[in-house]
Structure 1
Amino acid sequence: MSSLPLPAKATVAKSAGGGSTHGSRLPEEIFVWEILARLPHRDLIRCRAVSHAWRRAASARDLLLEHHHRQPSLPLINRRGTPGGPRWFNVAALDCQQVQPVARLDGFHVCVKASCDGLLLLAEGLHGSPFGMRVSICNPATRQIGHLPQLKGYVALGLYRHRSTGEYRLLLRWAFNRRAMYIFALDHHQVPPRRVECPPEALRYQLSSSAPVMLHGNLHWAWYTVSLPRQSESKNILVFDTTAESFRQMCSPDVAIYRADLFEMDGNLGMYTWDNGMRVVRIWVMQDYENQVWSLKCSVELPVPEIPPLIQERRSLMVVYQEGDVRLLVACGGLLLCVDTQGNLLASSRDDGHRLSISKQFLKKSLVSHAFFSTLQGDINAWSFI
C-alpha cells in the first residue's frame, strides 16, 4: 500500500507567556505527538470543538499526516442485502476480528474498486457494464465524495500517489482493449486520461480480480492466461512503477496463476494459491525482490467442516499480514472465518440474511484534506458514511 509522506515533527510555537498554545499544562510534544496523534479519528475531530487552540492543533497537516501513519491498514468486507430484502450495500473494515461499518450505500451493484491513503474509489452500476457505471472517489473519515463522470468506459486498475508531484492518480484500462492503459490525475480531473504504453504480452493475459499490492513504489498484479498452459518461470506478475509510470514484468512461483493473488508481508511480496475446492491454500514469499526468488512458506488446510457445503461455490478468500501474523479470511454466504497458518479457526461471525464477500481492498483512515474534492461534482454526505 502507498502512504502519505511521513512528516518531520515540527517545533510547535509557544505562547508569549512561555506556556503551551493549546491551553493545557502538558508540553506540546506530548500533547500533540503522543496524545492527539494516537486518538481514534472521531475523537480527534471532537477535539476541534474544545477551543480555537485545540482546533488549530487538531487540524494541523503535520499532525494529520502522523495520525494517518499510526492507523492500521484494515481489510474491507462487503455486506450485501439478499434479493427480496433491503437494497443496500455496506462496506465494513475488519479490525482484530471485529467488523466495523464504514459506509452504507444504496443499491446492490456498488463495489470498492481501489484504495490509497484513506481514499476509496467506488463504482456503482450493473456488474460487467463499465459504460453504465458511476464512479466516485470518497474519504470515509472526512465524509467527502466526488463523482467522476468522465471515467465511464474505463476499468480502474489502481489508485496511487505520484511521488514527484504529490498528485493522486488512477491507472485505468479501456474496457474493450486490454492494451489501452491510461493515467488520470484527480487533481487535474478536467484533463482527459493520458495513455501509457503497456507490454505487448498484455494482449493475451488478463488481470486477476485482486487488488494490486503497493511495494517499493510499484503496483503489482497477478496476471493469468486462459488459452495458454501455465509455463514454468513465466513472468506473470505485472509491475507498474508509480514514479516513472511505466510497466515491466516479474516472475511468479510455478503455480496456477489463475487461482492466485498477491499480498504484502512485512515489506516482502507474497502470493497465495488455492485448489479448485478452496480447501488448501499455499502461501509463497519472495525472498529476493531484485532476483525474483520465491520460496514456499506454508500450506494451510482450511477448516472445511466449518463452511456450509451448500454455499462452497460462493466463497471468497484473502491472505492478510497484520501485527506480525499471517491470517486467512474466508467469506461465504453470511459466514466470515479467520484462520491461522496452522489451519486453526481463530474467529468466526455469522450474519444471516446477508451475503458477505472480501473486497481485497484496504482502508487506512486519513483526515488529511485534498483540494480536488472542492472541484469535483458531489456533496459531503452524498452517501451515508457511518
Structure 2
Amino acid sequence: MAGSKLWSSQTRSDLGRNRSIWSALHLDPILLGLLLLLVGGGLFVLYSGADRNIDVVKAQGIRLGVAFVVMFVFAQLDPAVFRRWAPWLYGLGLIGLVAVLLVGVGAKGAQRWLALPGLPRFQPSEFMKLVVPMMAAWYLSRYYLPPTFPRVMTGLVIVLLPMFLIIQQPDLGTSLLVGMAGIFVVFFAGISWKLIAAFLAMVSVSAPLMWFFVMREYQKQRVLTLLDPQSDPLGAGWNIIQSKTAIGSGGMEGKGWLQGTQSHLEFLPESHTDFIVAVLAEEFGFIGMLLLLTVYFLIILRCLYISVTAQDSFSRLVAGALTMTFFIYIFVNIGMVSGLLPVVGVPLPLISYGGTSSVTLMAAFGVLMSIHTHRRMITA
C-alpha cells in the first residue's frame, strides 16, 4: 500500500513536471512557430504588393493580431465543446445565410454581408467554413464507421445545403471551400471507392446542367478566359496575362524586393490581395516560391500529424477536413494566379490582405491546437 501511494505521488509529480508552458496554454509550439514565420513573411511581401503603403501593412497587422487572439481562445476550448455546439452553430449559420439573401448588404454585384446593429458587417459564409465540417463530423461520428449509404447521403445533404445558399449570393469561391471542407469529412469517414466513383460520375454528368442553369454569366466568362485569355487581352484576360508575365519574369532569384515592375507600374491588378503570389514570384523568383511552399508544406504536415494522433472520431474527422481545406486555399489561389484554374476570388492564406479569411483560418488552427493539447494521457 505504501509503495502504491509512493508510485501514485511520484506519477503525479512527473506529470506536473512534464506539463510545459505550451501545454498549459494549449498551444502547439511547432505549429505556432510556422504560422508566425508565414505571417511575418506575408507582411514583408504585402508592403511591396501594396506599393509601399505602410497603412495597409499596419491594418493587416491589426487584423492578424485579432486572428491570433481568436486562435488562442479556440485552443482553450475542449473538442467536446465544439462537438456539443456543432448542431446549434450549424442551424445559426443557415439562418444567417438565409438572412443574407433577404436583407444582406450588397457590394460589387454580390450580396454576401450582414450588418447587425452594434456589430461590424460580416460574412456568415466564412463562419460556415468551420461549422460545416464540424456538423458533418458530429453526425457521422455518432455511428460506426465507415458510414452506410443512407448516412453518407445525409452527410452530403448537410454539406450541400449551405453550399447552395452561398452560391445564390453569388460566391462561387467560398461555396467551393465550404463544400470541400464538408466533403473531406465524408471522405475521411471511410466511404467506399464505388461511392466515390459514383459521386464523380454524377458531378461529370451534371456539369453541362450547371453550365446552362446554375452558373452566372460572369462565372462562365471566367472559365472561357481560363481556356483562352488572349481572346480578350485588355478585358477579362488582363489579370491572368499580367499575372503569368510577373511570375515568368521573376526567373530563379527574382528581381529583388520592391523591384517588381508588373505590380509597381500598376500592370498587375489586386496585387496585394488575390494576386499577391505573383508579386512574390516576380521579386523573389523560383527560390522565393520554393521557400513559401516549404513553409506551407510543413504546416500541412504538422496538421496532418495532429489529425492522425487525435483520440476520437469527431476530432480526427474535423482536424483532417480543416487541414485539407487549408491545402485547397493554397492550391486554388496559386492555380488561378498561374492560369491553371479559373479566377474565383480565393486569397492566398495568411499572405493576402484581408481580415475575414485570416480570422477564419486562425480559428481553424485554434481548433487543431485544441484537439492536440486536450488529448487524454493514457497511463498503464
Shorter-normalised TM range: under 0.3
Q: Larger helix proportion, structure 1 or 2?
A: 2
Larger relative strand fraction: 1
- TM-score of the aligned structures, taking structure 1 as reference length: 0.26
Higher relative contact order (CA 8 A, sep 6+): 2
